[in-house]
Each structure stands twice: as C-alpha cells, then as structure tokens.
C-alpha cells in the first residue's frame, strides 16, 4: 500500500510503514506466546524476519522517494514507486519461497 501513495505525501507513506512494522511486531508477540520455545529459528520465524526486512526496506524506499520530491525530482520518485509496487511483493514472495523450499 505504501507505494500507491504519491511520493509527495511521504509523511503518509512513512506512517503506513510504521503502522505495518508495529503490526508485524504485534504478530510476533501474539504467535510467540502460542508456540513452544525452541533453540533454533523455525521456517515461520524466518518468514516473519524476512517480512520485517522487506517492511524496513519499503520505509527506506519511501524516504528516498520523499527526498527525491524535495529535491525537485518528482517524476523519478513516481517511477521508483511504480517499480516498487511490483518488485517489493516479488521480493517478499521470492524470499518466502526460498525459506519454505530451502
């Protein structure tokens, strides 16, 4: 969702990213209390960690696009957001696929 908001509204993009990050953390705490403790990372742990990395990178992308807008490079920021709309989900699903089948 963060990449569908115009980069000129980067404060809103950052807000979406921060909310998503907090939701991911709440999910970690919710499932952590339901699963038995083990001394290694499970596939679910790895998938959640990968999701958090992608969320963090999407926030970084929003900051970069916002900086581009402030520097008068809005067409480039729009292009970056358009590419990110498809590359980030592919990056997330590709990582999950590697984790599940790796």
Kindly report, residue by residue over 40-51, the tens digit of the pLDDT: 989 999 999 999
- What residues does each domain of the chain span? 2-101
User: Which whole-number Å values give the CA distances from 64 to 48, 87, 93, 99, in the listed order?
Assistant: 24, 16, 23, 28
Q: What tens digit of pLDDT does each residue of 22-63 get?
A: 999 999 989 888 888 898 989 999 999 999 999 999 999 999
Give the predicted TM-score (pTM) of the model: 0.89
The architecture CATH gives domain 2-101: Up-down Bundle (1.20)
Report the pLDDT value the prediction gives residue 83, as an integer from 0 to 100: 97
| Residue 72: DSSP 8-state | T
């Amino acid at each position: 969702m963060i990449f569908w908001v115009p980069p000129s509204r980067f404060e809103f993009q950052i807000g979406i990213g921060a909310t998503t990050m907090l939701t991911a953390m709440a999910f970690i705490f919710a499932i952590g209390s339901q699963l038995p403790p083990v001394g290694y990372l499970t596939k679910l742990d790895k998938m959640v960690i990968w999701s958090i990395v992608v969320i963090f990178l999407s926030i970084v992308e929003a900051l970069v696009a916002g900086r581009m807008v402030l520097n008068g490079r809005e067409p480039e920021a729009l292009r970056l957001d358009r590419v990110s709309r498809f590359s980030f989900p592919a990056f997330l699903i590709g990582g999950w696929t590697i984790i599940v089948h790796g």
